Amino acid sequence: MNLILFTFIVLLGFTSYYFGRKKAYKIQSTKKRLTALPQFYGYYLAIWCAIPAFIIFSLWAIFEPTIVKLLILSDYSNQGYLDDELNLLYEKSKALSRGQFTGEITPFIEASAEKYLSLRSIAQSSKVVIVLSAIIASVAYAYKRISSNSRTREPVEKFLNAVLFTASLAAILTTVGIVFSLIFQTIDFFKVIPLFDFVFGTHWYPAKAFVRDSSEALDPTMYSDTFGAVPIFAGTFFIAFIAMCVAIPIGLMSGIYLAEYASTKVRQYAKPLIEILAGIPTVVYGFFAALTVGPFLKELGTSMGLEVSAESALAAGGVMGIMIIPFISSLSDDVITSVPQSLRDGSYAMGATKSETIKRVIFPAALPGIVGSILLGVSRAIGETMIVVMASGLAANLTLNPLESTSTITAQIVVILIGDQAFGDPKTQAAFALGMSLFLVTLCLNIVALRVVKKYREKYE
């Protein structure tokens, strides 16, 4: 029903565009000069069609459920039910009206379900009538108003401005919303677990929190030594470090090769091939790490007399590094290519060789972009989940031995939130606390990255 109505409104929009333009042409044919191109007259009418529709739709979406609920429950409000019971009854009757209710059907529920259905259908038809009449009224009003010297260009431009503004606002608000959802849960978490224990504790063992019977009261003391985040932070940075050890040299060198040395033909094929690496889903990298690289390293280690865990930080970090290569290579290739040719010419004309030119002129000039690409890679490494979950295990060991298994923030969030969880439980909230810290870490990284880039910009431009 809504879909049909929506299609109809879109059609109305096109029609009003057509009529607006037609009227403009008509005015034009009387040799009057228009204040804007005829299209603007069309867009102007289409906007007059879209705005009332949008307003009424949103108001309806906000208020319809509340009003329907109020109307249904008003019948029973003075029969001694508790609010919770009423809510439950309301949900039950809604389910029944959709035919999804399986419990015992009481007359009460049946009656309110019927009422719900009838109210909904009244609401629907009145919505159609109101929306359509509002549109027709507003378009007709605007149609009458437009004349040779009416201003249509400015409102259209303003409308576009508003639409684009709303789009960016939506992105910003979503971010803010995510941060807030993290903040509240995180605060709840730190009410039970002291911040000090979280930041400096060296034991991460959230499984201990599983054993709690939910009927028992919360006892903070039983969580001591459970949520110490040091091992997983250490693991996160350790694995990211291994990954960057692989990704930075290979990525940078291949970027430099592609930008400066490769012939047009090689570049034409090599660049897309490297970028394919970026298109591989991380879960594929994950089982590559877990099933191929991990066991290989284990065997290699055994043959050399080393004890290597099948799920090692080295396997996870190494494969993660491979995953990040294309980001660094492709981005640094781009920034190096965008260094002006005049600088290269200047250096070559001084008798510098290619490698001298790269080392002394191009690399410094491209440094801000290269640093940016590296920090982007670090953010990816810290936020990467799947490879670690699959290849480096879930036990949060505090170790700096790359041959042992360790775990990361993201992997622990997965562990915590997999399967059933109870809200309001410290174990679940721990995930939010971890998410929040991860967010803070990447935020700091981004700020540092921006600073670095800005500093070199000032110096080099």
Partner 1 sequence: MRKNGVKMIKIKAKDVDVFYGKKQALFNISLDIEENQVTALIGPSGCGKSTFLRCLNRMNDVIDICSVKGEILINDFNINDKSCDVVRLREKIGMVFQKPNPFPKTLYENVSYGPTIHGMAQSKQEMDEIVETSLKKAALWEEVKDRLHEPGTGLSGGQQQRLCIARAISVRPEVILMDEPCSALDPIATAQIEELIDELKKEHTIIIVTHSMAQAARVSQNTGFFHLGQLIEHGSTDKIFKNPDNKKTQDYITGRFG
Chain positions contacting partner 1, by CB under 8 A: 263-264, 340, 342-353, 356, 360-361, 364-365, 459-461
Handedness of CA 443, 449, 452, 456 (dihedral sign): negative
When the beta carbons of 74 and 341 are compared against partner 1, the nearer one is 341
Q: Name the DSSP letter for residue 223.
A: G
> What's the burial of 168, exposed, middle or buried (CB within 10 Å: 0-12/13-18/19+)?
exposed
Question: What phi, psi does 194 have (nearest 5°)?
Answer: -60, 140
When the beta carbons of 34 and 258 are compared against partner 1, the nearer one is 258
When the beta carbons of 124 and 337 are compared against partner 1, the nearer one is 337
Q: What is the nearest approach in angstroms of partner 1 to the Cβ of residue 261?
A: 12
Can you tell me the distance from the alpha carbon of 73 to that of 128, in angstroms, rounded to the nearest whole number? 25
Q: Cα 368 vs. chain centroid, distance in angstroms?
A: 26
Q: What is the nearest approach in angstroms of partner 1 to the Cβ of residue 266?
A: 12
Q: What is the nearest approach in angstroms of partner 1 to the Cβ of residue 172?
A: 35
Q: What is the nearest approach in angstroms of partner 1 to the Cβ of residue 393?
A: 46
Q: What is the nearest approach in angstroms of partner 1 to the Cβ of residue 267?
A: 11
One-letter amino acid for residue 168 of the chain: S
When the beta carbons of 112 and 347 are compared against partner 1, the nearer one is 347
When the beta carbons of 346 and 424 are compared against partner 1, the nearer one is 346
Element (H, E) at 408: none
- Contact of 436 with 182, CB cutoff 8 Å: yes
Q: What is the nearest approach in angstroms of partner 1 to the Cβ of residue 360?
A: 7
Q: Over the range 429-448, which residues count as b (16 or more CB within 10 Å of their CB) and which as e?
A: bbbbbbbbbbbebbeeeeee
Q: What is the nearest approach in angstroms of partner 1 to the Cβ of residue 187?
A: 47
**CA angle (445, 448, 454) in 5-degree steps:** 140
Q: What is the nearest approach in angstroms of partner 1 to the Cβ of residue 287?
A: 43
Question: What phi, psi does 282 have (nearest 5°)?
Answer: -65, -25
**CA angle (346, 350, 353) in 5-degree steps:** 95
Smallest Cα–Cα separation from 373: which of 314, 426, 309, 325?
325
Q: What is the nearest approach in angstroms of partner 1 to the Cβ of residue 371?
A: 15
When the beta carbons of 185 and 357 are compared against partner 1, the nearer one is 357
What is the secondary structure of 100-159 as a DSSP string? ---S---HHHHHHHHHHHHHHHHHHHHHHHHHHHHHHHHHHHHHHH--TT---HHHHHHH
